[in-house]
A and B are shown apart, each in its own frame.
Chain A
């Protein structure tokens, strides 16, 4: 506790622009992060802190490294061959880039929702129960409860409660995405990473997911990549603007969208390039 107080007051001195959220703890602290895909330098000296119980939006033009950064936060990026990293990402004060940090352990704390809904070709129930099951939960009653709670959490319970044992592929795209969110909630994570979770959805489903994100931040810290500027403005507390693998600007969402300090940020959010 003392440690966190100390760190927070340090942050206070360093960054006066984020006064309002200072009471909040940091979940991730990224420093001097570099990442290469083979020869391609995809992330350059990233410095970024993620705060607890907030929605952090990552915006930027295509190919600027948003997904790469997100996938580094749960080390999914390692599934790509030929990836090298340097620097440090501390998750709750432990460097996750350290090889001794077990990815399985990290990913029970950090869930991910992907751009395209990717339910398993199993029943709705089995999809949600998947996470708890692989972590060793066998008790049927506990599983039933987790499934219901997660589906409720993802605002899809009422739509599927009568067809829990039907194949998840029978759901609409928007329902599938909320199912994937439920599946992610079922491991009771600390952080949820979302990579353009609404880009494949219609406006109504998008709205539902956005509302959901708002509710979820009460219990989770959420990092969301989006191409939709209005979405970032609507749902996030902080916004990071990426360009060519660099963080150009990171600040309160309000500040970013009303008084960006960098010309490039302003150009991007006003639609002048990107």
Chain B
């Protein structure tokens, strides 16, 4: 006796196929929508800002006159910020992820910590600003320095990096670890030679997204008290400074019409910086994949 009634199968077939086609269309629309909005945004910014994007723009400090306003302090400031945030956040984040995934005992306490780290990723950035203000600016007396701001930003992006790195580490097949342990490798050798090379693409993707967030974020820096208008460059990590998004925010809030265009040019610079960072990630990723 047959349990499957072929007439039902035949009857259902057209509906299944139509549903498949409709959903494909819907997903395509969703993608197009995002691309379209992004396209309009980019077009507007380009149209508005490209005129101001010349060599002088990179040479000049901020100014009250739009035609003299430049991005130098903010651009260099953002780079300084990255120089602090990238190593601090990556080392702490990767270290934590490795510990949690590879060394920590799997018990309720570890699960509790993991849950809380994921939660931290959703805490509003302004809260991290307050934390930074209390700890780094006041308690450690770092003032409104590159270091204070950088450490604050590191805290902000740390949960995202930890979670991304954990995911990447966890997705390395168990069989590869077993092969390594089976030959007498220590845990550390297995991590360095097998787990990390396999996990690096995932770790990088997550980390670069997190660092990009740090480059674009303003709220915590406002709380920490980083100035928006500054006409000198930091000499070391203890100097004060400003960053691109703060500068852009400052320009957009000015009454003169021309400053809107200056802000658009600033946004372009920020975009290029992000693209540059992402290409570094792609480069490193390809390099690692070639090693296999």
Instruction: Name A residues whose Cβ lies closer than 8 Å to a Cβ of B.
Output: 74, 76, 79, 81, 103-108, 111-112, 114, 116, 118-123, 130-131, 134-135, 167, 169, 180, 183-184, 187
B197 proximity list for chain A (CB < 8 A): 121
User: Are the C-beta atoms of A134 and B182 separated by less than 8 Å?
Assistant: no
Q: Beyond A114-B175, A121-B198, A167-B292, is A130–B182 a contact (Cβ under 8 Å)?
A: no
User: Are the C-beta atoms of A134 and B193 separated by less than 8 Å?
Assistant: yes
Query: How many residues on chain B are close to A (CB under 8 Å)?
Result: 22
Docked pose: A184 CA to B182 CA in angstroms:
9
A114 proximity list for chain B (CB < 8 A): 175, 178-179, 182
User: Are the C-beta atoms of A79 and B179 separated by less than 8 Å?
Assistant: no
Q: Which of A74, A81, A120 contacts B179 (CB 8 A)?
A: A120
User: Are the C-beta atoms of B183 and A107 separated by less than 8 Å?
Assistant: yes
30 CB contacts below 8 A, A to B, read A74-B182, A76-B181, A79-B178, A81-B106, A103-B181, A104-B184, A104-B185, A106-B184, A107-B184, A112-B182, A114-B178, A116-B175, A118-B173, A120-B176, A120-B179, A120-B180, A120-B194, A121-B176, A121-B198, A121-B292, A122-B291, A123-B292, A130-B183, A130-B193, A131-B183, A134-B184, A134-B186, A135-B184, A180-B179, A187-B184
A135 proximity list for chain B (CB < 8 A): 184
Would you list which residues of chain B between 255 and 277 have a CB under 8 Å from chain A?
none
Q: How far is the CB of B238 from chain A (nearest CB, A)?
A: 43
Docked pose: A248 CA to B184 CA in angstroms:
32
Interface string of B92-110 (1 = CB under 8 A from A): 0000000000000110000
User: Are the C-beta atoms of A76 and B176 separated by less than 8 Å?
Assistant: no
Docked pose: A119 CA to B189 CA in angstroms:
16
Interface string of B169-212 (1 = CB under 8 A from A): 00001011111111111100100011001100000000000000
New A-B contacts (15) at CB < 8 Å, excluding given A76-B178, A134-B186? A74-B182, A79-B181, A104-B186, A107-B181, A111-B183, A112-B178, A114-B178, A120-B176, A123-B292, A130-B180, A130-B193, A134-B180, A134-B183, A134-B193, A180-B179
Docked pose: A104 CA to B158 CA in angstroms:
34
Q: Of all chain B residues, which has the CB nearest A187?
A: B183
Q: Of all chain B residues, which has the CB nearest A115?
A: B175
Q: Of all chain B residues, which has the CB nearest A113?
A: B182
Docked pose: A212 CA to B183 CA in angstroms:
20
Would you list which residues of chain B between 139 and 187 have a CB under 8 Å from chain A?
173, 175-186
Q: How far is the CB of B129 from chain A (nearest CB, A)?
A: 40
Docked pose: A118 CA to B198 CA in angstroms:
14
User: Are the C-beta atoms of B175 and A118 separated by less than 8 Å?
Assistant: yes
Q: Which of B176, B185, B292 contacts A118 (CB 8 A)?
A: B176
Docked pose: A180 CA to B182 CA in angstroms:
11
User: Are the C-beta atoms of B189 and A134 separated by less than 8 Å?
Assistant: yes
Q: Of all chain B residues, which has the CB nearest A118?
A: B175
Q: How far is the CB of B200 from chain A (nearest CB, A)?
A: 12
A122 proximity list for chain B (CB < 8 A): 291-292
Docked pose: A219 CA to B197 CA in angstroms:
34
Q: How far is the CB of B122 from chain A (nearest CB, A)?
A: 29
Would you list which residues of chain B between 273 and 292 have a CB under 8 Å from chain A?
291-292
Q: Which of B173, B183, B184, B194 contacts A183 (CB 8 A)?
A: B183
Q: Of all chain A residues, which has the CB nearest B194?
A: A120
A79 proximity list for chain B (CB < 8 A): 177-178, 181
Docked pose: A131 CA to B179 CA in angstroms:
10
Q: Beyond A122-B291, A122-B292, is A105–B179 a contact (Cβ under 8 Å)?
A: no
Q: How far is the CB of A88 from chain B (nearest CB, A)?
A: 22
Q: How far is the CB of B47 from chain A (nearest CB, A)?
A: 46
B173 proximity list for chain A (CB < 8 A): 118
A134 proximity list for chain B (CB < 8 A): 180, 183-186, 189, 193
Q: How far is the CB of A46 from chain B (nearest CB, A)?
A: 21
A81 proximity list for chain B (CB < 8 A): 105-106
Docked pose: A120 CA to B196 CA in angstroms:
12
Q: How far is the CB of A127 from chain B (nearest CB, A)?
A: 9
B186 proximity list for chain A (CB < 8 A): 104, 134
A119 proximity list for chain B (CB < 8 A): 179
Give the one of A103, A114, A134, A135 with max B CB within 10 A: A134
Q: How far is the CB of A148 from chain B (nearest CB, A)?
A: 18
Q: How far is the CB of B154 from chain A (nearest CB, A)?
A: 32
User: Are the C-beta atoms of B182 and A107 separated by less than 8 Å?
Assistant: yes
Q: Of all chain B residues, which has the CB nearest A122?
A: B292
Q: Of all chain A residues, which has the CB nearest B189?
A: A134
Q: How far is the CB of B153 from chain A (nearest CB, A)?
A: 34
Q: Of all chain A residues, which has the CB nearest B291?
A: A122
User: Are the C-beta atoms of A131 and B106 separated by less than 8 Å?
Assistant: no
B179 proximity list for chain A (CB < 8 A): 114, 118-120, 180, 183
A74 proximity list for chain B (CB < 8 A): 182
Docked pose: A203 CA to B105 CA in angstroms:
42
A76 proximity list for chain B (CB < 8 A): 178, 181-182
Docked pose: A120 CA to B197 CA in angstroms:
10
B181 proximity list for chain A (CB < 8 A): 76, 79, 103, 107
A104 proximity list for chain B (CB < 8 A): 184-186
Docked pose: A106 CA to B197 CA in angstroms:
26
